[in-house]
């Protein structure tokens, strides 16, 4: 199958699988990760087809959208088996998705350049203006308040396990996770983009506290 058709069919499958999600794993997240991964892949000289397919599919196997992680991974492999005849490429894409799905990708190190590119692109989508927007949408969906200075005056890291939504606020999520991501980037171009988005988030937090404090301090 030619690459353009394969990518179109993958897009249709991902749209069908993620269309209903409102917790940050929607189609447009996958679409942004795919576009960012293609840019990084071009600069880092990684295989663009592998990066594109892995980026598009990376959240389809997520355990939040499936009865279990194993069933999610099997669904992706079954789909790839019937659309791609190169078993080396299928195994590579599955390795990337499997490694990324370990608690948001903070588990085993990514073994291949293509995996590093896709993981960087996924992390970049949690940073900058988009990252800020996703954090507040996600927090609203989970009932987390925007900010509470009685809990943590200037945010701060409240807990290691940021998936416990009963504690903490949207602003805490910057300290729990987002401000740590730039130091976890794999590729040098990914790190450069992360640094810019990191600075943007620091500027956002400064302005946020300034307004919160009636433009004082």
Q: Are 100 and 92 in contact (CB under 8 A)?
A: no
Shortest spacing between CB 76 and ligand ADP, in angstroms: 15
Shortest spacing between CB 151 and Ni ion, in angstroms: 28
120 binds, among ligand ADP, Ni ion, none (CB under 5 to 8 A by kind): none
Q: Considering only residues 23-42, where is the footprint of ligand ADP by CB under 6 A? A: 24
Cβ closer to ligand ADP: 13 or 138? 138
Phi and psi at residue 2, to the nearest 5°: -75, 160
For ligand ADP, the binding residue among 60, 126, 193, 205 (CB under 6 A) is 126
For ligand ADP, the binding residue among 8, 159, 165, 167 (CB under 6 A) is 165
Which residue spans within 39-164 are E strands per DSSP? none
Burial of 68 (0-12, 13-18, 19+ CB in 10 A): exposed
Taking CB atoms, the residue at the shortest distance from ligand ADP is 24
Half-sphere CA count of 155, side-chain side, radius 13 A: 19
> Is residue 147 a contact residue for ligand ADP (CB under 6 A)?
no
- Give dist(CA 3, CA 200) in Å, integer: 36
- Give dist(CA 125, CA 135) in Å, integer: 11
Residue 44, Cβ neighbours under 10 Å: how many?
18
- Give dist(CA 81, CA 65) in Å, integer: 21
For ligand ADP, the binding residue among 44, 114, 120, 122 (CB under 6 A) is 122
Closest by CA to 34, choosing from 90, 93, 109, is 93
Q: Considering only residues 51-80, where is the footprint of Ni ion by CB under 5 A? A: 59
Stretch that binds ligand ADP, among 13-21, 88-96, 137-145, 203-211 (CB under 6 A): 137-145
> Is residue 104 a contact residue for ligand ADP (CB under 6 A)?
yes
Cβ closer to ligand ADP: 142 or 210? 142
For binding to Ni ion (CB under 5 A), which residues are involved? 59, 122
For binding to ligand ADP (CB under 6 A), which residues are involved? 24, 104, 122, 126, 131, 134-135, 138-139, 144, 162, 165, 170, 173
């Amino acid at each position: 199958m030619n690459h353009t058709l394969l990518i179109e069919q993958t897009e249709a499958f991902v749209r069908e699988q993620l269309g209903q999600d409102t917790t940050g794993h929607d189609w447009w997240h996958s679409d942004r990760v795919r576009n960012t991964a293609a840019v990084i892949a071009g600069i880092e000289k990684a295989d663009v087809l592998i990066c594109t397919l892995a980026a598009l599919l990376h959240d389809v196997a997520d355990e939040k959208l499936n009865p279990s992680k194993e069933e999610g991974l099997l669904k992706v492999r079954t789909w790839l088996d019937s659309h791609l005849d190169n078993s080396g490429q299928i195994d590579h894409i599955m390795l990337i998705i499997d490694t990324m799905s370990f608690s948001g990708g903070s588990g085993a190190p990514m073994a291949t350049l293509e995996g590093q590119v896709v993981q960087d692109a996924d992390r970049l989508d949690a940073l900058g203006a988009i990252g800020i927007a996703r954090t507040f949408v996600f927090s609203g969906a989970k009932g987390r308040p925007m900010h509470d200075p009685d809990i943590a005056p200037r945010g701060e890291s409240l807990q290691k396990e940021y998936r416990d939504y009963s504690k903490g606020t949207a602003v805490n999520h910057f300290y729990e996770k987002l401000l740590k991501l730039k130091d976890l980037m794999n590729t040098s171009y990914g790190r450069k983009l992360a640094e810019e988005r990191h600075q943007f988030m620091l500027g956002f937090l400064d302005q946020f506290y300034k307004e919160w404090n009636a433009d004082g301090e």
